[in-house]
């Protein structure tokens, strides 16, 4: 497939570590930040997965808190986002492909085990599938403003409004989309960081594609795999923390469903992060980092 690779100078003013890269198939290179030391297999590992339309930079405040207590953070940029390669056709993106691209990084390239997943937005849609399909790799889960739709229940109207806006916008303003999902606002430098991966409209096929890949009907191509994941999660008895914000109209209804469905969520004290929107890593990133650190401890 034809893909775009964002020039490095686009990130010159972005305060985020230089990534490593992994070949994940289809001729594509995935970028990821790994805060661990080579050969250090003793440090606990957190896999931090972002969603639409952000990239690993979203987790900078969370990483600061985890790094302070010795947690190794692995923070990929999904294919189509950040410093990762960007297929230029919307049709080159599928739910199954995104799961497989991340699996190749986590399982084949890094061979991670005893992992704590932290998944928000599409980071949960992808990450929860990995947990369900490779449970031996994961020790615990933090679900943060995310879900696992099957198309059996309609998405909220605010999500449909977002999807229609992404589909119809002649120019997709990625920084504005991120800012609109933040309760506390977004600094100009941070907004620029979210715009940095996308120098032109052709490079934005990933952000354009992702809303189209959310299962919205029972016969969606991803529905059966997601139903299977729900069945697997219904037997997951390892720790499963639901850490949602208080002001996310898109995913908020999923919090009680996850808490009630996953056995590993029973008896845990599930926090609600206050005054935070969909992108709780921006609005309450340090607090989320402390929540994850305490959970892993």
Catalytic annotation, residues = 121, 248, 278
- Write down the residue that tokens 């931090």 correspond to: 48
Residue 223: CB atoms within 10 Å: 18
Instruction: Compute φ and ψ for 270, nearest 5 degrees.
Output: -85, 120
Among the listed residues 67, 125, 134, 132, the one whose alpha carbon sits nearest the alpha carbon of residue 105: 134
**Separation between Cα atoms, residue 135 and residue 21, nearest integer Å:** 25
Q: 25: left (phi > 0), else alpha (psi -120 to 50), else beta?
A: left
Distance from the Cα of residue 193 to its chain's centroid: 17
Q: Please, are residues 109 and 29 in contact by the beta-carbon 8 Å criterion?
A: no
At residue 66, what are phi and psi to the nearest 5 degrees? -70, -40
Pull the structure tokens for residue 177: 């989309």
Classify residue 27 as exposed, middle or buried by CB count within 10 Å of its CB (0-12, 13-18, 19+).
exposed
Q: Which two tokens stand for residue 7?
A: 């020039």
**157 three-class SS:** helix
Asked if 130 contacts 230 with a C-beta cutoff of 8 angstroms, the reply is: no
């Amino acid at each position: 497939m034809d893909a775009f690779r964002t020039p490095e100078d686009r990130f010159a003013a972005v305060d985020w570590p230089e990534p490593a890269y992994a070949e994940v198939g289809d001729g594509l290179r995935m970028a990821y930040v790994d805060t661990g030391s080579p050969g250090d297999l003793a440090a606990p590992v957190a896999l931090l997965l972002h969603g639409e339309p952000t990239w690993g930079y979203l987790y900078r405040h969370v990483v600061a808190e985890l790094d302070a207590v010795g947690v190794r953070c692995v923070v990929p940029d999904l294919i189509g986002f950040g410093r990762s390669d960007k297929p230029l056709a919307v049709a080159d993106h599928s739910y199954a492909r995104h799961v497989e691209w991340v699996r190749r990084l986590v399982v084949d390239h890094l061979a991670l085990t005893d992992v704590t997943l932290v998944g928000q937005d599409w980071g949960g849609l992808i990450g929860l599938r990995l947990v369900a399909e490779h449970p031996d790799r994961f020790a615990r889960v933090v679900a943060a403003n995310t879900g696992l739709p099957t198309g059996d229940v309609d998405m909220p109207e605010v999500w449909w409004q977002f999807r229609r806006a992404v589909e119809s916008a002649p120019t997709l303003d990625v920084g504005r989309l991120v800012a609109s999902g933040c309760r506390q606002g977004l600094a100009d430098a941070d907004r620029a960081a979210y715009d940095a991966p996308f120098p032109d409209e052709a490079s934005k096929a990933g952000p354009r594609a992702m809303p189209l890949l959310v299962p919205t009907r029972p016969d969606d191509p991803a529905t059966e795999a997601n139903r299977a994941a729900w069945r697997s999660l219904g037997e997951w008895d390892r720790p499963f923390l639901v850490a949602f914000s208080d002001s996310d109209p898109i995913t908020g209804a999923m919090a009680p469903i996850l808490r009630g469905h996953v056995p590993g969520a029973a008896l845990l004290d599930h926090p609600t992060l206050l005054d935070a929107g969909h992108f709780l890593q921006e609005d309450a990133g340090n607090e989320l980092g402390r929540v994850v650190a305490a959970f892993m401890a």
